[in-house]
């Protein structure tokens, strides 16, 4: 059964807002302490976000040095501007938003070529070979997406953000996020039919 689909930007349907990633109350307390120049609090936040952001940024840059640089830029901005954060959004939305802008700027400046996985890697067996092929296949499809569309997908699937949070992080409307995901998904469904069990 095939149904006609329309661009989602034509309607604005609010999503429910279950709990987001991270413990916002605990992170707010860390931000309060950081305002008072508490480096131990910054260290706690750093460990927390290094894990989240490195997973997100490594997928985009494929370079650890660049990932580390963007993470440090982000946490330095958090240290310097913590007093201006009013808690209007979740802490994770604010921090990932800073990382998103710096990551996007870095990506555009350096014009990274995403590193494809080497076909000649030493593999232990057929299962690993198949896993690696699937991974390579998916990454190859994601690379073909425009960067804004890919970032929406990465923010949703790698960091677990909601549609509204992604809109805040990327500084655009909810409908723009929906539209970007709509086009990304249409392209991926054409490129990755086997993921849906289609031979």
Partner 1 sequence: MRAPHFNHERCWELIPWVVNGRASEPEQRDVLAHAADCSECREELARHHALHSQMRGDEDVIAAPNASWQKLLARIDAQPADSAAPRRIERPWLIAALWLQLVAIAVLAGALFRSAEQPAYTTLATTQPSDRRAAVRAVFAPGATLDEINQLLRQVGCDIVAGPSEAGVYTLAATDGDDVPGIIATLRKHPEVLFAERSQTASP
Radius of gyration (Cα) for the chain, nearest Å?
19
Q: How far is the CB of 178 from partner 1 (least distance, A)?
A: 7
Contacts of partner 1 in 155-174 (CB under 8 A): 156-158, 160-163
Q: How far is the CB of 158 from partner 1 (least distance, A)?
A: 5
Number of chain residues interacting with partner 1 (CB under 8 A): 58
Classify residue 62 by burial, with Cβ atoms within 10 Å: 0-12, 13-18, 19+: middle
Burial 148-168 (b: 16+ CB within 10 A, else e): ebbbbbbbbebbebbbbbbbb
C-alpha to C-alpha distance for 46 and 40, rounded to whole angstroms: 10
Q: Which residues bind partner 1 (CB under 8 A)?
A: 1-3, 5-6, 8, 13, 15-18, 20, 35, 39, 43, 46-47, 50-51, 54-55, 58-59, 64, 68, 71-72, 75-76, 79-81, 83-84, 134-135, 138, 142, 153-154, 156-158, 160-163, 178, 181-182, 185, 188-189, 192, 195-198
């Amino acid at each position: 059964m095939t149904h006609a689909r329309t661009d989602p930007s034509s309607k604005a349907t609010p999503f429910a807002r279950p709990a987001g990633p991270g413990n916002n109350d605990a992170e707010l307390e860390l931000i309060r302490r950081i305002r008072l120049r508490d480096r131990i609090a910054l260290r706690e936040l750093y460990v927390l976000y290094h894990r989240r952001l490195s997973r997100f940024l490594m997928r985009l840059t494929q370079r650890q040095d660049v990932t580390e640089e963007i993470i440090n830029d982000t946490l330095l901005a958090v240290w310097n501007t913590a007093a201006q954060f009013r808690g209007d959004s979740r802490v994770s939305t604010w921090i990932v938003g800073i990382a998103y802008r710096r990551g996007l700027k870095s990506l555009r400046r350096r014009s990274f070529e995403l590193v494809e996985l080497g076909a000649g890697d030493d593999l232990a067996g057929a299962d690993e070979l198949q896993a690696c092929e699937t991974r390579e296949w998916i990454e190859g499809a994601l690379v073909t997406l425009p960067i804004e569309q890919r970032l929406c997908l990465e923010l949703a699937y790698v960091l677990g953000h909601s549609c509204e949070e992604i809109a805040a992080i990327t500084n655009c409307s909810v409908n723009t996020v929906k539209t970007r995901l709509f086009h990304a998904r249409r392209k991926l469904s054409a490129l990755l039919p086997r993921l849906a069990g289609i031979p």
